Homo-oligomer: A and B are copies of this chain.
Amino acid sequence: MTSPRPLRIAVLGASGYTGADLVRLALTHPRIEIAALSANAKAGQTMAQVWPHFAPYPDLPRLVAAEAIDYAGIDAVFGCLPHAASAALLGTLKGPRIIDLSADFRLKDADVYASWYGGAHPAPQLLSGAVYGLTEFARDALPGAGLVACPGCYPTAVLLALLPLVGAGAVSPANITVNALSGVSGSGRSLKEANLFTEVAEAVHPYGIGAHRHMPEMEQQLAAAAGAPVTISFTPHLVPMNRGELVTCIVEATRPIGDLRAILAARYAAEPFVHLLPEGVAPATRMVRGSNHVVVNVFADRIPGRAIVIAAIDNLVKGSSGQAMQNFNLMFGLPETMGLEAAPLFP
């Protein structure tokens, strides 16, 4: 009996946090061969020069310019590039199947994209064919997909919390209020004053109030589930931690809390990564740190008729690279959990 040949992947944008976390996961994926890593501004450097945690891995492929990769022998490309740059490059690739972690292929409407991302979409012809890769709600489409758009981190958490409830009519699509907390890795490795240790540590503040770019994406998917337009309130806050994201959704319930709980329990009973917690247990980011797991729970609000649905993820794993790998597995007919088995790291 011979082993199946490895699947050769390229990671574009391996000098960013999502790219690095994808490489971290790929290193222990039994079917993946890391064939190429790109980072145009750091081409020529080793991953160990760019990243502390790859110091023990001097043999990883050296970083090259994305244009220098021979895509002919690549099975899958993971795009970890900034928006717009991502679509501009990926739109030209022939051959490899593409898992994009940027925002470029999440919105179906190029006009909505333009209004939120400040420019015309670089490859609008690809939008209709792209699969929105919230894995648990995209299993039918993934095996045949050529282009998968991985959801943003906030949408991943919010949609896993709310989609089953909105879809079942148990939660009104009106007046959905989401307060969100995120670790700093969500804002990338860019050299901004706001990302300095001294600015972030021992502090918390909201940002993107009423204007975060993940809003149209959440509204698009919730509207599809509700069968009607949805406008949500969404306020993210920056929290002094590296990883982790927690969303607290205050919603109007049309049924008792017990019913909401039953809907979530049924929907996620067989899911390997999504876990409804026991009654009364609050989701916490430390339950999922470093893993692809999601924890969810629902509570009665003090205001009658309202419910509080809470979910926690690791923004770099289930909120980004882990979900990308989960999608990759399904695209290539592999077990969904392959390479994602690691338990959360605590403390």
Given contacts A204-B181, A281-B55, contact A303 B241 (CB under 8 A): no
Please encode chain A, from 254 to 293, with 1 for each CB lying within 8 Å of some chain B CB and 0 for all others: 0000000000000000000101010001111111111101
Which one of B183, B193, B250, B275 lies within 8 Å of A177 (CB-CB)? B250
A17 to B200 alpha-carbon distance, docked (Å): 15
> Are A53 and B193 interface neighbours, CB within 8 A?
no
Which residues on the B side are within 8 Å of A291 (C-beta)? 53, 56
What is the bound-complex CA distance between A253 and B37, given in angstroms? Answer: 41
Contact present for B290 and A203 (CB under 8 Å):
no
Is A331 part of the binding interface, using a Cβ–Cβ cutoff of 8 Å? Answer: no
A308 contacts partner chain B, Cβ-Cβ < 8 Å: yes
Q: Decide if A346 touches B53 in the complex (CB within 8 Å).
A: yes
Instruction: Assess whether A199 is interfacial by the CB under 8 Å rule.
Output: yes
Q: Is A51 an interface residue (CB 8 A)?
A: yes
**CB nearest neighbor in B for A317:** B345
A233 surroundings in chain B (CB, below 8 A): 250, 301-303, 306, 308
A24-B204 contact, Cβ under 8 Å, with A56-B287, A235-B308, A275-B56: no
Complex-state Cα separation, A285 to B237, whole angstroms: 11
Q: Compute how far the CA of A58 lies from the CA of B206 in the bound complex, rounded to whole angstroms.
A: 21
Collect the chain B residues with CB atoms within 8 Å of residue A204's CB. Answer: 181, 239, 241, 244, 246, 284-285
> Is the Cβ of B344 less than 8 Å from the Cβ of A56?
yes
A243 within 8 A of B: yes
CB within 8 Å of B: which A198-251 residues: 198-207, 209-211, 215, 231-235, 237, 239-244, 246, 248, 250
Question: Does A117 make an interface contact (CB < 8 A)?
Answer: no
Q: Looking at the assembled complex, report how far the CB atom of A65 sits from the nearest CB atom of chain B, in whole angstroms.
A: 21
Known A28-B341, A189-B198, A203-B289: A347·B17 in contact at CB below 8 Å: yes
Distance in Å from the Cβ of A300 to the closest Cβ of chain B? 6
Tell yes or no: A172 within 8 A of B by CB.
no
Query: Are A53 and B345 also in contact (CB < 8 A) when A240-B241, A248-B235 are?
Result: yes
Copies, count: 4
Looking at the assembled complex, report how far the CB atom of A19 sits from the nearest CB atom of chain B, in whole angstroms: 12
With a cutoff of 8 Å between Cβ atoms, the chain B residues found around residue A24 in the complex are: 343-346
B195 contacts A192, C-beta separation under 8 Å: no
Please give, as numbers and ranges, the residues of chain B lying within 8 Å of A290 by CB-CB distance.
Answer: 290, 345
Contact partners of A181 in chain B: CB under 8 A: 181, 204, 237, 239
The reply to whether the CB of A54 lies closer than 8 angstroms to some CB of chain B is yes
Q: Which residues of B contact A195 (CB under 8 A)?
A: 196-198
Q: Is the CB of B189 within 8 A of A192?
A: no
Task: Report the bound CA distance from A196 to B200 in whole Å.
Answer: 9
Q: Which residues 45-74 of A sit at the B interface, judged by CB distance below 8 A? A: 51-57
Complex partner residue of A205 from B51, B215, B284, B344, CB under 8 angstroms: B284
Contact partner, A282, options B207, B231, B242, Cβ 8 Å: B207
For this complex, 10 residue pairs linking A to B, each with C-beta atoms less than 8 Å apart, are A53-B288, A177-B177, A181-B181, A183-B202, A191-B196, A197-B197, A197-B242, A206-B248, A240-B240, A342-B342
Q: List residues of chain A with CB under 8 Å of any chain B CB.
A: 17, 20, 24, 27-28, 51-57, 175, 177, 179, 181, 183-185, 189, 191-193, 195-207, 209-211, 215, 231-235, 237, 239-244, 246, 248, 250, 273, 275, 277, 281-291, 293, 295, 299-304, 306, 308, 310, 312, 341-347
